Structure 1
């Protein structure tokens, strides 16, 4: 009987051990099954879409979409005149989801666009984007926006008047604004809507407090004259290169440190003045301004000129007074229509012989430099009327200057001359020879 109980006890223990082992194995199997089939996210929402100015140069402000999660529609409203053919969205979506097309990939919004968001578990939600561009404002509405954007302006405009004819500085033809004379009106901003003044031909906005122009400036396709002197403008938008009808560009007395390369597109401009700024260089593309007759860049910090300056075949006046020029490019000699060349107050020490090719020059000012030598070819300037060489370091001058019988003024004040070629002295009857040192002799 004791043996039977003992055997039964062993059998019972073995049975319990087997049951425990089966339970453990079953638990492990269950854990393995859960590990191989985790819970996958079903979230597939677009949470935001923004078209930023950083990714879209055609925009002057960020545009944020309105998302309807029930109807799965996304709506966008862009300002009047916006080109929506090629825009780049920044898209935020649910965690673990993907979107097609992807974020930061350009899309054409001129027709509806479908965006598909795929959740981690594979479920898909489709959104439809619809974009519209605001109807253009009338010229009067644009000027009203402009007026209100400059709330401390001194514009003499009655916004309640029946027409714009009484508004000071505004010229209207057939209800379209063609000229704006807005000088000294305490203006500090030009809103983006300004680009809608498509009939504008002349804009004078000088002596104000502008710090920049909107990129929509480039939409003023009929603009011929832009005067923005005496402001606080630190840069010009690249879109200024779209003003292909522009003839006069005046941005004197501002804070410009550079000119955009797109300025080379302005091949109708005849006069460009960017004096009294902080320019260090001028872009080589300036050589493409084939109609340029007057280029005035006085009182900047320009230290060199591009070789392309020699491509300005119609240039008549080049003024670079008070800059940092140490050397002139040889191509300066290509300017065969130049009449006035003013390079006073620079750091020039040697003048290239190609200066003798300036066959039309009448006024040549090289005063207040560090010139130690002049080329013999200066005697080829047979049209020269005035030659200012004062305040340099000349110890001699070439006798070929004596061949310049059309010259009426030769200024040699404050040099290191001890003698002057007799041939030059013999011009005395037709020339005003300015000297301060009475010890200078003719040889």
Structure 2
């Protein structure tokens, strides 16, 4: 059996996997940078995930995951985390430890609220929250000043926080939301977002 000690990427897309303990418990994966486990039948993330401390990109979308273990947040180098199309009902407060996170997707889950710690991820560029069960959004969205894409379509929202205008890089085209929700913003805030649309490339 040949093992690549310098392995940096594993792609196990669409393999009907139900468990991944044996895969990620390989001691030789400490240099792994990218792990693609999308389109499987994975029901939970084993605690061994925390040993992959060099991991930067993790694709777990389109599985059957119900809970995110605390050990995932030991992967402090994560820049890209896709958990969309799973069965999640919450985002752990430990998300705040992922200070390098730039892309975070939990589209099409059953999430009802957002933890305040999410807004400690100051490097976020893309935040995909569409098709969940959110009813209100925190005013702290204004703290994510690097945000360029925010997906909110398909929730149970009645309005948007006016603080979105503080996300100077967020253009109207990057705000994926129902038109009637966008129109709940005060005129001055919609002008700010539209101004960003035309003043930035």
| TM-score bucket of the superposed structures, by smaller chain | 0.7 to 0.9
Q: 2: CA distance between counterparts of 1:401 and 1:360?
A: 18
Q: What is aligned with 1:265?
A: 51
- Is residue 292 of structure 1 aligned with residue 78 of structure 2? yes
- Counterparts of 1:353-392 in structure 2 under 5 Å? 353-385=139-171, 386-390=174-178
Deviations 1:171-213 (A, max 9, x none): xxxxxxxxxxxxxxxxxxxxxxxxxx23x1xxxxxxxxxxxxx
RMSD: 2.2
Q: Is contact 1:332–1:354 with CA below 8 Å preserved after alignment?
A: no
Q: Is contact 2:137–2:160 with CA below 8 Å preserved after alignment?
A: yes
Q: Is contact 2:160–2:181 with CA below 8 Å preserved after alignment?
A: no
Q: Is contact 1:316–1:338 with CA below 8 Å preserved after alignment?
A: yes
Equivalent in 348, 365, 369 of residue 134 of structure 2: 348
Q: What is aligned with 2:192?
A: 403
Q: 2: CA distance between counterparts of 1:401 and 1:257?
A: 41
- Counterparts of 1:82-161 in structure 2 under 5 Å? 142=1
Provide closer, same or farther for how the CA distance between residues 404 and 234 of structure 1 changes in structure 2, counting only shifts above 3 A.
same
- Is residue 231 of structure 1 aligned with residue 4 of structure 2? no
Q: Is contact 2:104–2:126 with CA below 8 Å preserved after alignment?
A: yes
Q: Is contact 1:316–1:339 with CA below 8 Å preserved after alignment?
A: yes
Structure 2 length-normalised TM: 0.87
Aligned residues, how many?
Answer: 194
1:350 shift after superposition: 0.7
Deviations 1:394-427 (A, max 9, x none): 772244343335532xxxxxxxxxxxxxxxxxxx
Q: 1: CA distance between counterparts of 2:196 and 2:58?
A: 29
Provide closer, same or farther for how the CA distance between residues 406 and 284 of structure 1 changes in structure 2, counting only shifts above 3 A.
farther
Which one has a larger percent strand, Structure 1 or Structure 2?
A: 1
Structure 1 length-normalised TM: 0.41
Q: What is aligned with 2:103?
A: 317
Q: Is contact 1:317–1:338 with CA below 8 Å preserved after alignment?
A: yes
Q: Higher relative contact order at CA 8 Å, sep ≥6: structure 1 or structure 2? A: 2
Q: 1: CA distance between counterparts of 2:109 and 2:177?
A: 17
Helix, strand or coil: the match of 1:233? coil
Q: What is aligned with 1:76?
A: none
For structure 2, the residue ranges without an aligned partner over 5 or more in a row are: none
Provide closer, same or farther for how the CA distance between residues 392 and 340 of structure 1 changes in structure 2, counting only shifts above 3 A.
same
**Which structure has the greater CA radius of gyration?**
1
Q: 2: CA distance between counterparts of 1:238 and 1:376?
A: 47
- Is residue 256 of structure 1 aligned with residue 42 of structure 2? yes
Q: 2: CA distance between counterparts of 1:388 and 1:354?
A: 18
Q: Is contact 1:368–1:391 with CA below 8 Å preserved after alignment?
A: no
For structure 1, the residue ranges without an aligned partner over 5 or more in a row are: 1-141, 143-196, 201-220, 409-429, 432-443
Provide closer, same or farther for how the CA distance between residues 354 and 249 of structure 1 changes in structure 2, counting only shifts above 3 A.
same
